[in-house]
Amino acid sequence: MLLFPILSIDIYYPSRLLSYWTPANIVISPINQHIFMVDMSFNRVLHLSPEAIYISTLNLPIEQSKFYSPLKLTIDLAGYLYVATGAYSSLAMIYKYRTTNDQLIKNISLPFYVPTALTISPINGDIYVATTDTKDTSIYVLNKNGEQINKFNTSNFSPPLSQPTALTMDKTAERLYVADRNDSTTGRIFVINSQTGRQLQVYINSNIYRPTAVIVDVNLNVYVADMATNCIIALTSNGTLIRTYTNSLYNPQGLTFAPYASLLLSDTLNNRLVLFDVISAKVLQIYSSHDPVLIAPRLVALLNSGDIYVNSLTDDIAYNILKKLTITNSSANVTQIINPKPHFGFPVGLALDTKNQIYVTDADIPYGYIHMFASNGTEIGRIYTNNPPLKNPHGIATDLQGNLYVADSGNVRVIKLLINGTIIQNYQTTPPLQYVYDVKHIVPDRVIGLILSNDEDTPGLAELFLTYFQINQFTYLQSLTLFDIGPHLWENIIQNMVELKNLHSFFYTQPSRTNSWISDITGNDIGQLDSRLFNIYVDIVKHISSVATQLKSLATKFELNDSTTQFIYPLTQLKRLVLEIEGSNISINQLEEMMSNLPRLKHLILIANCNRDVVNGQRWQMILQHLITFNFMFYLSVSLESQDLDSFRTSFWLEEKHWFVACGRKNLYSVPHFYQTTADEDFQFPLCSTVSDNIIFYETINRLTLSSISNNTNHYFPHVQTLVSYNDYYILMSTINDTTCN
């Protein structure tokens, strides 16, 4: 493997308009060397100068309310740009643009739904477009007027074409090169006759696993970008490996020739373009988007010095932190980071006292509390209240004497308290506050976080709130949480999410059967109602993926049936997913397809009924190599033995990721995340596991039940908090906080 030598490389930040670009498919005009790039963040086409300076965004005639397949680009020798895409509810289109003024000059209809690759003949302008529609994995050939003149049936290839991802042609237009993402352990590149579709050659190389782009030079050398192995592979015309190029690439998805024997690469998940010399592999230029200082900021407080404290998510969207910013006329520099242990739950209020001591309300579940930090960022304590405890505390303020005022939302009150948690005064109104703030004075376009609940503690409040506002009024909303929302509110909310262009986080739970909104429904209707909510799941997620393009976190569950072909649609910015799949068994191929739609995912929790093929640690390694955390519970129809876990005992699982697994009678799961938290005198270890020290199983137990004296005294549970005893005998309780005896 040849690393890019990096010497004196300038990094350009082309434009603030490109701060969040995620480059994918890319082409360069042969007329003026202008760059045209697909930005996955918004499924748009950007027009850049040869120096990658932003010029314009192409006006695509697509409906914002529909979900479209990823855009595919190609450009002809006359400099005309072709853009292919398709909505899952309508036939695909190719749009032809004049690149000198970005004018749309032609629409070409296609006889299928999802175009996956596109190229143009350099000789006669014929258009080649690939598709993987159901039962139709083919390559269509159109003349330059858009009329179909041929169709290559790829089932006759050896091996058969599986999922074409990229097309290109040599300079004579005699050979068509097809990159194929296969379901086996390797991808491949087919070479076919461009007139007859007859297979001429196939390149299979261990470095090619998930090819995303392919180009050919004048000597018929082939260059392949691969999103799984994170490198560029160069092959001779007979398939011999020349070299591989890498420079900490992350999911490269676009590749094109640039002037002076150079290649321009879309390093997609590093949010940059890389220009490098083909011969020397020297990096010539890096064009990068600029990472934001803050992610989903919600709280802010001003210091006497003019600095501010503000919350932000971490770069991997794992949890909240506080950042202190020093502001100048041209920049905001982070001068302090506050990251308590344990981490913040859900910080929602921030205040400073006269000594610059920091107070942060945390609306953690089930009860809230207040963090206290010294001015240097050290946590010096947490404030709790009793009778009742804080519940969902929001706003907080301090007076000159150091007293705190807290909007205790869950208890519909405002309280004044000392820093030791003693409540001095309880402010309540008659009638009681519906909210701890007056909703009629909310300015929707200033709200970035919203929680709507119709559960037992807040019956009717969501409906009351929506009599004042519509969801689409909250145009800057970044986080939306729905608890127990009934169908009369649910569908209206989902349909209006199309306006929420800044939504980063969306969470919902299935409705509870005990809430007031179903109190007048008969028992027979309840099952039908639940079924309907399950049945509209796919439409909901499809809609979310098209309207919430910046979604970072999603937690949901659904019921899989045999007719479900896709259940996670492309969410290119999603970094955290909690997914529970009920119903039919799911295969590893389906899960890999799901992961291909989540290119930036970092944290995954997955619960599902699965086929036996998920017991394959090597396959998972290829799929999940960029995840930070992965916790799963797979329910199987077969029993496993210790040797079945051998593929999970590699250095990748045990040393690099520290991901450990165990199996029960008919399940496979992550430990300690999904290991039991309760034990009795018959406690046993899992049937088999990949851990080297069984202490990990003891440490998860926090509740111990004893109904008889056990002869087994070899177990030690260091973290038991609750003991339930059904016999009269003495027990040493050095670490037990709560005891129940009968």
pLDDT of residue 185: 61
Contact 735, 708 (CB under 8 A): no
**C-alpha distances in angstroms, 731 versus 713, 725, 742?**
12, 9, 14
pLDDT of residue 740: 47
3-state helix vs strand vs coil in the chain, percent to 5:
15, 40, 45
Per the rule left: phi > 0, alpha: psi between -120 and 50, beta: everything else, 306 is left
Please list the residues that pair with 45 across neighbouring strands: 38
Pick from 142, 132, 141: nearest CA to 112: 132
pLDDT of residue 459: 66
Tokens 């030690």 sit on residue = 716
Please list the residues that pair with 226 across neighbouring strands: 211, 231
Q: Report which residue type is found at 254.
A: G
Pick from 195, 188, 235, 193: nearest CA to 211: 188
Query: Which three-class secondary structure state does DSSP give residue 383?
Result: strand
Contact 392, 385 (CB under 8 A): no
List, as one string, the DSSP characters of 18-73.
GTT--EEEEEE-TTT--EEEEETTTTEEEEE-TT--EEEE------TTS-BPPPEE
Give the CA angle between residues 371, 377, 380 to the nearest 5°. Answer: 45
Contact 370, 390 (CB under 8 A): yes
Tokens 């120096």 sit on residue = 51
Neighbours of 488 (CB within 10 A): 9
Domain locations in the chain as residue ranges: 2-288, 300-427, 442-674
| Range list of H helices, 566-616 | 588-596
pLDDT of residue 210: 86
Q: Using the 8-state DSSP alphabet, how is residue 653 labeled? A: I
Cα distance between residue 513 and residue 686, in whole Å: 35
Pick from 348, 337, 342, 402: nearest CA to 370: 348
Q: Using the 8-state DSSP alphabet, how is residue 123 labeled? A: T
What is the helix (H) or strand (E) element at residue 473, kind and residue range? none
Strands 413-417 and 211-216: unpaired
Q: Report which residue type is found at 102.
A: D
pLDDT of residue 386: 84
Contact 335, 325 (CB under 8 A): yes
Percent of the chain with pLDDT over 90: 23
Tokens 């997620």 sit on residue = 541
User: Are 2-288 and 300-427 equal in CATH topology?
Assistant: yes
Pick from 441, 432, 479, 451: nearest CA to 392: 451
**C-alpha distances in angstroms, 561 versus 481, 489, 564, 609, 704?**
27, 26, 6, 11, 39
pLDDT of residue 528: 30
Query: Which three-class secondary structure state does DSSP give residue 432?
Result: coil
Contact 204, 218 (CB under 8 A): no
Per the rule left: phi > 0, alpha: psi between -120 and 50, beta: everything else, 620 is alpha
**CATH classification of 2-288 is 3.30.420.40, yes or no?**
no
Rg over CA atoms, the chain: 29
Strands 738-741 and 722-725: parallel
Pick from 609, 598, 615: nearest CA to 653: 615
What is the helix (H) or strand (E) element at residue 542, kind and residue range? helix 537-547
Q: Using the 8-state DSSP alphabet, how is residue 120 labeled? A: E
pLDDT of residue 88: 62
Cα distance between residue 458 and residue 476, in whole Å: 25
What is the helix (H) or strand (E) element at residue 530, kind and residue range? helix 523-535
Quickly name the fold that domain 300-427 has: Neuraminidase (2.120.10)
Q: Report which residue type is found at 436.
A: V
For the chain, the distance separating the N- and C-terminal CA atoms, rounded to the nearest angstrom, is 68
Query: Which three-class secondary structure state does DSSP give residue 222?
Result: strand
Burial of 587 (0-12, 13-18, 19+ CB in 10 A): middle
Q: Which residues of the chain have pLDDT under 50?
A: 1-19, 290-291, 435-438, 440, 511-537, 729-730, 732-737, 739-742
Pick from 564, 451, 456, 462: nearest CA to 507: 451
